[in-house]
Structure 1
Amino acid sequence: MITTSVIVLIALGFTAAAVLAAASKALYVKEDPRIAQVEACLPGANCGGCGLPGCGAAAAAVVAGKAKPDLCVAGGNEIAEAIAKVMGMSVDFSEPEVAELICTGGNRAETIYAYEGIHDCRAEAMLYYGEKSCGLGCIGMGTCVRACPFDALQLDEQNLPVVNKTLCRSCGKCTEVCPTGAIRISGLSANLLHINKTQDCLAPCMQKCPIQVDVRTFVHQLKKGRLASALQTVKSRNPLPLILGRVCPAPCEQICRRNILDSGVAISTLQKFVAEWEMQSGQHVPLDCNPDTGHRVAIVGAGPAGLSCAYFLRRLGHHPVLFDTHAEPGGMLRYAIPEFRLPHHVVEWEIHGILEIGVEYRPFMNFGKDFTLESLAEDGFESVFLATGAWHTPSLDIPGGDGRNVMGSVQFLGEIGVHISSMHEKTVVVVGGTNAAMDTARTVIRLGASRVVVLAEDIQRKMSANKTDIKHATSAGAEIMEQTRPVEFHQDGHGNVVRVDFEQVQYKDEKKASGPILSVPDTLQSVDCDLVVVCLERWPELECFKDAEGNIPFKVSKQGTVEADKATMQTSLPHVFAGGELRLGRSLVMDAVADGRRAARSIHTLLTEGKVRRFSAPPLERVIPESILKGMKVTYSIPRVKEQEIPVDVRKHSMTKEVTLPITLCDAVKEASRCLHCGLTCYDSDAGSEYANDPDVLTFEEIAAQKAAKEAAEAKSAASAKDTAKEACA
């Protein structure tokens, strides 16, 4: 029985073997030898960063045409090229990307409870929404460190992950496990074109900057003496740091958290300092640019908006060409801002830095005459950015406003040194409280004017002019008459204005300095004059955009500006974008630079993705409420750096000498130490501790004690005086 069973089993085994052998011959598929060759090129990490289960599967996908040669995130370009060689293919440029931490809080961020469970960020976030009061804050339990297959992450003493960029392969494993979005994958394009959103870790200064400079990082780099890195950080958002360091009104400083305690960090001064350092070196700091994509973009207008757009497009690898009517690029930076405020050599240096990275400039090109949208398309330009500015000052709608000696600010400032070289013993009336009004007042004083009267509708704090420029104008001798406006210009027989009548005005709500501007009855005054310069609104000149029938091909606002989406700069023509003062009317240089970067972002996505990429989340438009702190506990009070100025008598006789002198490296580093290195809600309470022993540095406790002692002494003195008075009466 047993023998029979054994024989049967053996027979069944032979039968099965025979069937399997036959089946293998019938169904055998020879494996493509390239799979093994491709797999040999791969690092064998089996990390899954490519989305496939191991390197073998990745190799099979490449050979099957289901994946590209650059699928391996662990390998980089060398491995991609090796795979492409096996496959007889070419590799497109792949921009390097690395993990990047956006949270700066660490142990500074307030913890709202003690978590005693599993030490995992995801578990903690799931159970308790994270332990930090800041919703963006890194929880700090190292889940991302454990998830990284390349040992590119480690925790520092604050329990914040530190990225080793040489080891990071941008596989994204860390971002997958991070529950708060505190760590992200980012590269050159993403950094250049990122638009701040409310879910970013933004200090108040970064929220208020239209250009969105990473203030926190660049100031920290300056503090550490890494000036080149600091400048590169600035230039990832601002291509004109030397210029904006001089003309920016610095809204970032006004909202700086240090204002709660003493005074805001001199951010604009520090930006100017690192840019001055570069200029003094004689060489521009190297900037990364992606390889040429072959896409050509026409930019009409070489002012700040056009220069900004060209700069960012070139760094992204595209070929921008600037067209302008002037001999030299710069727009109003070169032709409408006085040299004592913005020296020509500064403008030259900044623009040269943009042109030398590969931006092309074509002078004496008039839109509508020398080229059109149609001719640009025929020449191979795939997109157009219009940034022709607002050069027209409309006439005042008052009697005598058409006088021969009534000029707009741009016309007047543009003729200095060309047709106007002296205002000796002249009386000049300047209308407006704008930056141009202060520039005009300071200019005519330098040209020898005996009297300058500025008529401004607003009180000083409501004027659009920079407060520093207002101070410089008044110190030079300009008479700034607040809450006044002209009502009539009296002309002589030759059509020249010889007298200006003006009146007092007031706000409808005087307490809040808001509401409509109303005339104050019986306040009429007069001033004799030789020249009137109007420095109010400016509007674009749109005649050049009209076709043969007199139509403009895109939408125009009631104010006479080109309508464009405020987030993307796209006009009603999909491939045409507009920004700067052409879109905004009279505005600030920083707004024009911001428009240029946003336009570059939109044009880039149109060229590379076939459509303008909209935002996955709304861009930041208002200050994030939770970031505005009312109470802070900071240890040290460090005096804000004081910029030295040349004497008033010297500046009144020079059209080229800057009023403000550069600060020293020591001053810059000390000022940078005042920065609290803020996050969304956190900050460094011991900022500036390295200067604790300096005689001008006090703790806030010492300041409070001094204040209390002073108040006690004053009270004692007052009591003593009271007693003395009583005795005298007795």
Structure 2
Amino acid sequence: MVKPKVLELANKIASGITGGLMKVTPKDPEYRIIEPVVTDEMAEVALCLEFHKPKSVEKVAALCGKPVEEVEKVLFQLAVDGVIKLEPENGVNKYFLELFVPGVMEYMVVNKENVAKYPVIAECFEEYTRKVGGMLAGNVPPGLGIMRVIPIESSIEGDTRKASYEEIADLLNKHDTFSVTDCACRVVRRTMGEGCGHTIEEMCIQLGPAADFYIRTGRGKRITREEAFAIIKQAEKEGMIHQIPNSNGPGKTLAICNCCGCSCLSLRNANLFRNPDFVRSNYVAQVDRDKCVACGECVENCQVNALTLGQNLCTSKKNVIHQEKETPYDTEWGPDKWNNDYRHRKVVAESGTSPCKSQCPAHIAVQGYVKMAAQGRYREALELIKKENPFPAICGRICPRNCEAACTRSGVDEPIAVDDIKKFIADQDLNSHQRFVPEKKAQRPEKIAVIGAGPAGLSCAYFLAVDGYQVTVFEKQKVLGGMLALGIPSFRLGKEIVNSEIEVLKELGVEFKTGIEIGKDVTFHGLRRLGYKAFYVAIGAQAGKKLGLEHEEAEGVITGVNFLRKVNLGEDLKMEGKVIVIGGGNVAIDVARTAERIGASQIDMYCLENREEMPALEEEIDEALLEGITINNSWGPKRVLQENGRVVGVEFKKCLSVFDESGKFSPKFHENETKIVKANNVLISVGQGIDMGGLLKDSKMELNPNKTVKADPLTFQTGEIDVFAGGDVVTGPKFAIDAIALGKQGAISIHRYVHGDNLTISREREYHPLDKENLNLDGYDRLPRQRALHVDGNKSKQSFKDLRSTFTEEQVKKETERCLGCGAVVVDDYQCVGCGVCTTKCKFDAISLVRKYDSSGVELKEMKSNIIKYAIKRKGRIAVKKVKKSFKSVFSKEKGRTE
């Protein structure tokens, strides 16, 4: 049932922008937003008000012929609901009408009670701004939209042409009254199920009369000027863009918003309609490619996706001539030009970027920390690494080095020794008196439970702790580290290294409870009753796998994983005589080398793969050979031999091939070519399984056919909505760095989940490396790769200590000089809105703002006329461009005929 007076009021408010030329219907958001909270009787009173002309209660009562007490009550309720504006004048409350945006819709959205009761309020705010944005796309002069970006002050400090209205401090210092509210746009998105995870609470600041209105109507919290500055600084830390309403004239704003590109409805108009003129400042970003190292910090924090990671090397092929970029300046700009998928962020340019960052599972800024190491900035390098990987000292010893395998330098001589550089950086911190502990972003009350203290669980706990959550890690074993502590021998990864990096988590406030098995000692339901709001399951793949061979259960046959666990837990194990290790992966190598250290006199490894196919890293194979271990390639076990229940050997058969034509595992054997090998012990290291125990009891979590936990591939949410999973329990056995990367993703999902935000929006990051075949590397000199001191195999096999040496500082300097610096950031200076966020994130002084425009805010009446004039001139430019294009086409055809 349409409320006629409410519809009339909606039209009157809308006329503030349209001048009454466009009628509001009951289907329009302008009507639907106020309809739930306004009756026709209330609307009658509001219709007596005018735009920006405050009236007293007595005057309104006289105009509408109602008692003063009744009118006063109605007006104040309308102000509380956000439909009209209240402003005291000489101690007397006066009321007037305000625009829908900026104005009524923001006021209404920050009334939490009403939005919770009537979600349509949030939906209409989004719909209205999208509707108006589409109508105005291309027709707004640069910097003269309803909202305007104000650069972060530090980003324009050196600009002598800056104006006072472009300085946040000047805007704050003009007023004495301040309030703060939750971000209206992020409230809208969260209400609509599209929350992005950015901070909502206490983000938008009101100034002067606006602050007084917010405080009087209970929608804003009074703050001091100092607190306002602190909020601004916190927003800048979080990478938010400062925006102000732009219709009061230069420097006369009454609000400062701190905005993100994924939720802000104003920035949405810049992104969705590919028309940043709606909001832009007078500045754009520019990159110094000689300084840029493509670390990606500016790219990750750019709220309008104007920055991407590109390349910084000369190509061997001729550059493709790109067509001139179309913009609304002289082009018709309809839906075919818009970017409806703007929240799917593009982080890498079409050219690709640094292979080291692209190929790293955690996408660590390798080029960035190598450059910092070259400059002796080791603590900053460590901080940069820890933005993606909390355990650089661990990974510096066990990483598979995907970055090195992909390194562009290999096209000149050898890859950069990235892992050795990282190890050196991390060891500087391990050896320092004051460890690097990241600053917490907030203090949050929510309790999160992490199940499993392996690399994925520890990584998730680290990032949640940095976000300010109360994290408890539950570990089944008595020791922390998971496979880092129990599945890797100390001669590859010292327990003191693992414990040292875990200590940082303890300093962040993470609580650890060992000897507790979830599903047996305590359940998910029990933890929920204790107040835990979300869970991260990261129990790893710590169960050994057997092959189903005849007599496989004989005494002396043990899986490699179980063997390593027993040794790492300090059990009194002795190996005598000959030992056979079945398997060709890294774990099998570790098993063989460990067996040698506890007394075996001869170690023989047997694997299906030939030497080139072995899954073990080349470095680990070499270390095993140096220690006298024999590797027998292309043999598969046929049966275990036993006498009186005790293993005495293994019969092997020749493996002809391991994979079929499609690359699938499908071994083929020569059944008649066999051999028997005697042994006192057999260690089977052919994979790992997952021991769920009672974890899934009374749970909606499901398993995949391979017994891993079924989880969403982007969010890692399981069948239980508050349970997320990661690491080997999801992927199957992989490297620690893969688990660490998933741990961070789990933390992001949990952060969003506990706040009721969308788990997928703006999450995807697609990296691809530059084309190394299209590079001209002829001008680079060959430089020798630095190598750590050689370890004598005869000496190393007698010790459980990691005897591998670390680079000297001189070696680090020489090795970092070999980096080609093949990545650099690319700026889309049209899409850039000149916020300055990028300049605050760059640690290399490689990006800055330059003044390109010279516009200032205007009052609403002048804004309307400016937009109309601009739109008329734009139509002329579009017409001229079409004529030029037509003539060009004709001449091209004529030229083709004459040729």
| Same fold at TM > 0.5 | yes
Partner of 1:71: 204
Residue 32 of structure 1 aligns to a residue in which SS?
Answer: strand
SS across alignment from 2:636: strand
User: Which residue does 2:796 correspond to in 1?
Assistant: 651
CA distance in 1, matches of 2:354, 2:822: 5
The residue identity in structure 1 corresponding to 2:657 is: Y
- Give, as a single letter, the amino acid of the residue that structure 2 aligns with 1:613: L
Aligned partner of 2:718 in structure 1 is 571
Cα displacement string for residues 594-651 of structure 1 (whole angstroms, at most 9, x for unaligned residues) = 111111111111123x144214474327x44646645423422211111113322211
1:393 aligns to what?
544
How far off is 1:409 after superposition?
A: 1.3
* One of 742, 749, 759 as aligned partner of 1:613: 759
Q: Secondary structure at the match of 1:598?
A: helix
Q: Is the 8 A contact 2:408 2:772 kept in 1?
A: no
1:523 is matched with 673
Query: 3-state SS of the aligned residue for 1:322?
Result: strand
3-state SS in 2 of match to 1:564 = coil
What is the DSSP-based 3-state SS (H/G/I as helix, E as strand, rest coil) of the residue aligned with 1:366? coil
Quote how far apart the aligned CAs of 1:154 are: 7.1
Instruction: Specify which of 505, 521, 524 is matched with residue 655 of structure 2.
Output: 505
CA distance in 2, matches of 1:211, 1:631: 29
Q: CA separation of 1:74/1:626 partners in 2, compared to 1, >3 Å: closer, same or farther? A: farther
2:559 pairs with 408, 411, 427, which one? 408
Contact conserved, 1:203 with 1:627, CA < 8 A, in 2?
no
TM-score, length of structure 1 as denominator length: 0.70
Amino acid at match of 1:97: E
Aligned mates of 1:666, 1:74 — CA distance in 2: 56
Which residue, 419, 423, 428 being the options, matches 2:571?
A: 419
Secondary structure, aligned partner of 2:489: coil
What is the aligned partner in structure 2 of residue 272 from structure 1? 423
Shift of residue 363, structure 1, vs aligned partner: 1.4
Residues in 1 aligned to 2:710 and 2:147: alpha-carbon distance in whole angstroms: 49
**Residues of 1 paired with 2:183 and 2:787: CA distance?**
63
* In structure 2, distance between residues paired with 1:414 and 1:87: 58
Contact 1:500 1:526 in 2 (8 A): yes
Contact 1:629/1:681 (CA < 8 Å) preserved in 2?
no
CA-to-aligned-CA distance 1:87-135 (integer Å, 9 cap, x gap): 99998977443699xxxxxxxxxxxxxxxxxxxxxxxxxxxxxxxxxxx
SS at match of 1:669: helix
In the TM superposition, residue 541 of structure 1 has moved relative to its aligned partner by 1.0
Report the residue type matching 2:710 in the other structure. Answer: E
Paired letter, 2:785: R
For 2:505 and 2:227, the matched residues in 1 are separated by 32
CA deviation after TM superposition for structure 1 residue 537, in Å: 1.5
Distance in 1 (CA, whole Å) between partners of 2:825 and 2:669 is 45
* Residue of structure 2 aligned with 1:532, choices 672, 682, 692: 682
How far did residue 519 of structure 1 move?
Answer: 0.1
Task: Report the equivalent of 1:353.
Answer: 504
CA shift in 2, pair 1:69/1:320, >3 Å: closer
1:299 partner SS: strand
Q: 1:511 to 1:645 in 2, by over 3 A?
A: farther
- State the match for 1:49 in structure 2: 149
| 1:54-453 matches, cutoff 5 A | 70-71=203-204, 84-85=221-222, 95-97=234-236, 156=288, 197-199=347-349, 202-416=353-567, 418-424=570-576, 426-453=577-604
Task: Report the more deviating stretch, 586-595 or 610-619.
Answer: 610-619
- Partners of 1:599 and 1:347 in 2: CA distance: 21
Structure 2: 5+ residue stretches without partners: 1-52, 64-84, 94-145, 152-164, 185-200, 209-213, 240-275, 311-343, 827-899
CA shift for structure 1 position 32 = 2.7
Distance 1:61 1:592 in 2: 46
Query: Counterparts of 1:291 and 1:523 in 2: how far apart (Å)?
Result: 66
Matched, 1:637 2:782: yes
Q: How far apart, in 2, do the equivalents of 1:641 and 1:446 lie?
A: 30
SS in 1 for 2:751: helix
Indicate which of 646, 659, 668 corresponds to 2:812: 668
- Superposition deviation, residue 666 in structure 1: 1.1
Deviation at 1:509, TM superposition (A): 7.0
Identity of aligned residues (%): 26
Deviations 1:544-576 (A, max 9, x none): 2243xxx65311011111111222111111110
Distance 1:297 1:228 in 2: 30
Distance 2:479 2:599 in 1: 29
**Structure 1 residue 585: Cα displacement:** 2.2
C-alpha spacing 1:196/1:648, structure 2 compared with 1 (3 Å): farther
Residues 387 and 582 in structure 1, CA contact (< 8 A), matched pair in contact too: yes
Alignment size in residue pairs: 580
Instruction: Please list every run of 5 or more consecutive structure 1 residues that lacks an aligned counterpart in the other structure.
Output: 1-20, 36-45, 76-80, 101-142, 184-193, 683-730
1:461-508 CA-to-partner distances (Å, cap 9, x unmatched) read 322222111111111111111111110001111x11101000111227
- Of 701, 706, 709 in structure 2, the residue corresponding to residue 559 of structure 1 is 706
The alignment partner of 1:273 has SS state of: helix
Measured in 1, the distance between the counterparts of 2:699 and 2:59 equals 73
**Distance change in 2, residues 1:59/1:481 (3 Å):** farther
Give the distance between the partners of 1:255 and 1:514, measured in 2 at CA. Answer: 24
Quote how far apart the aligned CAs of 1:543 are. 2.6
| 1:32 counterpart = 2:88 | yes
CA offset digits 1:135-191 (Å, max 9, x no partner):
xxxxxxxx99x9756x8977658698999x9xx9x9x9x966x866579xxxxxxxx
Aligned-pair Cα RMSD in Å = 4.5
CA distance in 2, matches of 1:634, 1:411: 52
Q: Distance in 2 between matches of 1:394 and 1:259?
A: 38
CA distance 1:561–1:552, change in 2 (3 Å): farther
- Quick one: distance in 1 between partners of 2:809 and 2:715? 39
Letter in 1 for 2:236: E
Q: Give the 3 Å change call, closer, same or farther, for CA 73–509 of structure 1 in structure 2.
A: farther
Q: Using CA pairs under 8 Å that are at least 6 residues apart, name the structure with larger relative contact order, 1 or 2.
A: 2
Q: CA deviation at 1:652?
A: 1.8
- TM-score, normalization by structure 2: 0.58
How many angstroms apart in 2 are the aligned matches of 1:380 and 1:341? 40
Query: Once the 2 structures are TM-superposed, how far is the Cα of residue 400 of structure 1 from its aligned partner?
Result: 1.2
Is the contact made by 2:294 and 2:825 (CA closer than 8 Å) also made in structure 1?
A: no
